[in-house]
Structure 1
Amino acid sequence: MKPIRMTCLATTLICGMMGCASQSDIRILEDRVIALERRNLELQQQTTEDIDAKAAALRNQSASLQVATDQVRNEIQALDGKLEETRYQLTEQTRTSEDVSRRLTRIEDILQIPVSDMASGSTVSGSNAPSPSAPTTPATQGAAAIAATENELYQTAKQAFDRGDFDQARQGFQELLLQYPNARNGDSAQFWIGETFYRQKEYEQAILEYQTVIEKYPSGKKVQAAFLKQGFAFAGMGDKANARLILQELIEKYPGSSEAKIARQKLSTL
């Protein structure tokens, strides 16, 4: 009986010890599981933060790229606008050159003057218009006249025109242009030269002088008036067809001008 009792006691002790070891292992495993779960949460949180940071960086990069793309697009649009403007200017210059060429050819055909002579400022063959005055010199003109200012020359010539002394006025305006090639009132002086011929019914020469205004002073304040008086000069010559062409050209180029209004009235009578 004693050996059996000892065996049972040993078995009991062993079982007890085995039970205690199992509970300890379980606690250790639970602690490890808790630690792993905590570490997993930390990793998840860190991963989420990393992803958010990278997403924010990508969004910033995307926004920067969008801004750069918009800038490039705006620059391209600006360049397209400049290119279109340049193309338009070239087209206008070509059209203007063609218009001048056609006008010169038309006037050449009408007046029977070579275009080269018109460009050089030659007068109509057989016209009794006086040639431009020779440059003044101290030997031919007094000191006071030599010292005359641009405005004085212009006013003196205009006064002669207003009182009907067209020859004297023409000579004065020509003198002004000789002494002051870049005169502030150069376009007006050239126009009034044409007017002196028009008032004397020398329409062919007047047409040439008006043409000089149009070609030499394209941005001047007398261009519209020169077109108008060219049309009137052709009408005065009895050339109604060319008068209509010139007046219609004036209306097309300067539709809102006072000269265009007069041109419309004149066209109704041709």
Structure 2
Amino acid sequence: MSLSRSLVATAACVWLAGCVATPPEEDPVVQKLTELDGRLLRIERVLTNQSLLDLSQRIAAAQDEARVLRGRLDELQHELGKTQEQQREMYGDVDRRLARLEGVNAGAAGGRTSASGLPVPQGDDRANYQAAFDLLKDGKYPEAIRGFGQFLKTFPDSALADNAQYWLGEAHYVTKQYTEAMRNFHKVLDDYPNSRKTPDALLKIGYCAYELKNWNEARAALGQVVQRFGDTTAARLANQRLAKMDGEGR
């Protein structure tokens, strides 16, 4: 009996010794875990590479779209520049065409004003308005100033009085008499609040203030043009002058 027990005990010890002596790399459990860990790493690499590929494709697509948009922006800026140039060229002619559409008949001024100051002493308000306007158009500014000034004294209730007041201010403006020009443009706003000349008069007030270096007053007047008359040539010109002031740090 004692011999049998000894043999069993000896066999058990040999088995246990064999389990302990098995290297980890040969252990089935360790091998399985190593295999699973390797598979997991391979899956993670695939997912990472796919994410980088997707990101790279998105970046390339965004860059292509940006190039297309930049090209379109350049085209639009070029078109805008041409449009603004055309508007500037047309702006000086707008009132002359409006005057003709209003049916103003020219009077025989002969390029001079009479002693009374009226270009056409015997003419009506329309004849004298057109004669004074022609003097302005021809660059005869002192004569135009006298003509429009006398027109406003002689025909204060004329339907053309607001236009005459505006052009009187314009004649002073082009001769760089900015203070007097501003006074006349203000009279357009004060005396003829419903005049079609209001946006232009307000714009020129801003211009006069700019020339006189009254920056706050210039910004206030130009800002009103933009706010009150947004879809007009006057508003676009006001925006341009405001942008110029921004560039100058005014």
**TM-score normalized by structure 2?**
0.49
Rg larger in 1 or in 2?
1
**TM-score normalized by structure 1?**
0.46
